[in-house]
A and B are shown apart, each in its own frame.
Chain A
Amino acid sequence: MSLLELKNVYKIYGELHALDDVSLKVEKGEWVSIMGPSGSGKSTMMNIIGCMDKPTKGEVLLDGVDISKESSKNLTTIRRDKIGLIFQQFHLVNYLTAVENVMLAQYYHSIPDEKEALEALERVGLADRARHLPSQLSGGEQQRVCVARALINYPEIILADEPTGNLDEANEEIVVDLFHKLHDDGTTLIVVTHDPEVAEVAQRTLVLRSGKFSKEIVNENFTGKIRFGDNNPI
């Protein structure tokens, strides 16, 4: 069973088909990039996979559960337990320190544990910046806090929305390296990006155009530990 499976998913706003009969399978431990121009349906798809919206039609199976049928209360629980989110704008709470921002995710998930949160920051190389407020951190550092927050509860999937959109080249490299580490640890990654350089390091890249997948690019040179065959349906 795939970790995530979209079966003939539609999202229709009036006349507009934001997603138009989209099917997708993502296996556990896989690293998938989704690319596409503005208005191609990337955000809609992220919202649906991230349990923040429901499709008009079709099934979305996450770990065997059809999330398209769940109440918004249940979706909150699923999102909290199974999904780690990384945002383009980092979205750190500006009055909480780096470690407190990581603990925030623990707080909603289970029990806040400062030691564990500090370890997560150490993993992203920010142990010495743990007590700093977001305003005292660079963009790259803020994004690394965001990554630490996303991975603290050991989610099934890490969903990253334009994770390098606001970063310079050096920081982009650091974040991509972190994704490599996460992938090596067996984390499933779905990365939505404009940037072909970021997209192409994934195992495969799906190109979304006008609400449909128009192309799949499999990265033959992928150097990660885990590799998948190219039998995934699009």
Chain B
Amino acid sequence: MIKKRRMFFRMIFASLMRRRSRMIVALLSIAIGATILSGLVSIYYDVPRQMGAEFRNYGANMILTGRDGSFTNTNIAAAKGVIPSNELVGAAPYRYENVRIREKPVVAAGTDPAGVKATSPYWLINDGEWFEKSGELLVGANIADAFRLKAGDKIEVSYTPESQQAAAADNQVVEDNFREFTISGILKTGGSEEDYVYMPMSDLEELTGISDKIDLTELSVSATSDKLKDYASEIDSVVPAVNASLVKRVTASEATVLTKLQALVLLVTVVVLALTMICVATTMTAVVAERRKEIGLRKAIGASDGSIIKEFMGESMLLGLFGGIIGSVLGYVFAQQVSIHVFSSSISFRPLLVPITIIVSILVTGVSSLMPIRSATDIDPALVLKGE
């Protein structure tokens, strides 16, 4: 039995190795199919991650607000703790206060400059630079227009403390808190952000004399919309003082685009699979056709239909194996190139995809060879006696 098996493999290896030029065409079609298949599957599974990162450019997708006034830094930290750190792209707390610039009321927002940069990467600095340290002010474009401000200007921002606000309403003389800021840049977003001035949270706390007060926190989370919903409800139950809500505009469109993109990749994968099968079937038909004499001879010297099928199937499955190995390597390279050029980030290697590609490649080759191989058994052994 061992000798017989050894001869079986000796024959199919000889057929593949010594008929290289013929077999390379078949191998190429299988390898290309396997490459595109494994590449597309890689992309299919990586698209949510890639697109998630891409979508994070469109702003925060979760907003934390406080219930019954207990929205403290501690509670926010607890709520943020629910989201895995690798999925949390950024968090920006906001506190809004009415302040005055040149005696005119303006809304100032205290925040974390680095956090805003992460949650709202689309904020455009028209003139100047991003605000980074204490004493720097980012001024919305509408405010800048109204006050004719530009980057580098120094302005005074004043605030009427709560204790003085009643007096201020009565037009009495009040003692305002004030502080000088340097305008680091002019903010352009195309949205309501242009009506505010932004300063580091610590500056606002100093200006108002009130600390640990936050109105809302924007989170940018790299997760699917279903996962986001889970996180939101988990936050609601784990930190009851915090209310987590999703920015539907962002999460819903993200989900829609993802579904469509994945459906497209899946469709292309199926089409490639079908084309590979047609290609392999055509190649195998040609292989069988050019080996009619050999099949006739094998039958004439006593090969049963079963052994003819076994030998040809063995050959095509071995081709499938080689094609699958080549395909899983090239597929990774292909997916990597697509990822780098389309999403500007590298793709993660999925070891499980290697055996899956090989198995699928063997199966596809086997199935598509079935018809031509079955037709090989119809070849008349008498063919070899006719002296053709």
Contacts and interface: CB of A to CB of B under 8 A. Distances in A.
Given A95-B14, A95-B15, A100-B11, A76 B387 contact: no
Nearest to B303: A108
Interface string B282-302: 000000000001100111111
A138 interface: no
B4 A112 contact: yes
Contacts, number: 91
Interface residues of A, number: 37
B11 A89 contact: no
Contacts of A162: 387
B88 interface: no
Contacts of B381: 52, 79
A192 to B, nearest CB: 9
Interface in A34-85: 43, 46-47, 50, 52-53, 73, 76-77, 79-81, 85
A104 B10 contact: no
B384 A79 contact: no
A149 B302 CA distance: 12
The SS class assigned to the B binding surface is helix
Interface residues of B, number: 31
A103 B297 contact: no
Contacts of B3: 111-113
A79 B7 CA distance: 21
A96 interface: yes
A221 B42 CA distance: 80
Q: Which of B6, B14, B19, B385 has the most chain A CB atoms inside 10 A of its CB?
A: B385
B89 to A, nearest CB: 59
A50 B18 CA distance: 31
Contacts of B384: 85, 87, 89, 91
A12 interface: no
B388 interface: yes
Interface of A: 43, 46-47, 50, 52-53, 73, 76-77, 79-81, 85, 87-89, 91, 93-96, 100, 103-109, 111-113, 133, 149, 161-162, 165
Interface of B: 3-4, 6-8, 10-11, 14-15, 18-19, 293-294, 297-305, 307, 380-382, 384-388
Given A47-B385, A106-B7, 14 more contacts: A43-B382, A50-B382, A52-B380, A73-B304, A73-B305, A81-B302, A87-B384, A89-B388, A93-B294, A93-B298, A107-B4, A107-B8, A108-B302, A113-B3
- Top 10 nearest A-B pairs by Cβ distance? A80-B302, A95-B18, A108-B302, A112-B7, A52-B382, A91-B297, A88-B387, A47-B382, A107-B7, A52-B381
